[in-house]
């Protein structure tokens, strides 16, 4: 029921506004030939470029900086490539609504999705191929804004057709773990490449699935570094 409500809300939003909603839980599964398929694709690399970033000073800012530093490591890894290419959902080896800018006549393969991500071709920054450019700011909702849906139920949002900014909701970011931040920023950045939310299960769409892949990998890295995820 919660998912139905969230989905219904999403599709009455302007199409240009792409959001991350809480409570979406992608189930990750990979094809048995994921490694073989990944080997057929040239591994690409992205450079993380912090453009303009604002975040309230304190412990959470330290976590946020750590999350940003993990993104480049994760996206440039062979494991990330294998998981993005090898992802499968019930009934097929592809993502739900796997196309760019609402162009449902041109579905993409998992391999093409990986290449698009790694090309870093942000609509509003066409001159920065190969870069993951991050412009983000944290919105702190005032007392009279807290009743608005964005303030109550949106983790982050972008307007990818007209802006390169990512807006983050302090209600959620004030308590987020590092790995959750990492997954959410990647989710929002992928919107800037042209992957929007469409009809179908949100938890099988590119932004949510790749965000979940990134979050899980960030958690594993933190554990290997013997840094317990922040609570």
Q: What is the pLDDT of residues 166-200, one digit of tens each?
A: 999 999 999 999 999 999 999 999 999 999 988 77
End-to-end CA distance of the chain: 28
Residue 12 has pLDDT above 90, yes or no: no
Give me the chain's average pLDDT, please. Answer: 89
Per-residue tokens: 192:
């800037």
Name the pLDDT band for 15 (thresholds 50, 70, 90): very low
User: How confident is the model at residue 5, as a pLDDT?
Assistant: 37
Query: What confidence category does residue 228 fall into, taking pLDDT thresholds of 50, 70 and 90?
Result: low
pTM (global) more than 0.85: yes
Residue 10 has pLDDT above 70, yes or no: no
Three-state DSSP class for residue 181: helix
Alpha carbon distance 127, 121 (integer Å): 8
């Amino acid at each position: 029921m919660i998912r139905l409500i969230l989905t219904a809300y999403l599709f009455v939003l302007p199409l240009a506004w792409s959001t991350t909603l809480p409570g979406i839980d992608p189930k990750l599964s990979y094809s048995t030939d994921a490694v073989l398929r990944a080997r057929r694709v040239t591994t690409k690399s992205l450079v993380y470029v912090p453009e303009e970033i604002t975040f309230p000073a304190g412990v959470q800012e330290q976590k946020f900086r750590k999350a940003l530093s993990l993104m480049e490591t994760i996206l440039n890894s062979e494991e990330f490539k294998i998981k993005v290419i090898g992802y499968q959902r019930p009934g097929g080896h592809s993502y739900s609504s796997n196309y760019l800018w609402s162009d449902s006549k041109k579905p993409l393969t998992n391999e093409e999705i990986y290449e698009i991500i790694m090309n870093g071709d942000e609509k509003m920054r066409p001159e920065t191929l190969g870069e993951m450019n991050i412009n983000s700011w944290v919105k702190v909702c005032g007392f009279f804004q807290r009743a608005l849906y964005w303030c109550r139920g949106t983790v982050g949002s972008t307007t990818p057709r007209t802006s390169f900014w990512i807006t983050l909701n302090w209600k959620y970011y004030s308590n987020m773990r590092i790995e959750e931040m990492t997954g959410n920023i990647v989710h929002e950045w992928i919107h800037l490449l042209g992957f929007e939310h469409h009809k179908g299960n949100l938890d099988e769409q590119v932004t949510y699935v790749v965000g979940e892949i990134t979050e899980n990998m960030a958690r594993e890295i933190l554990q290997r570094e013997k840094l317990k995820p922040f609570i």
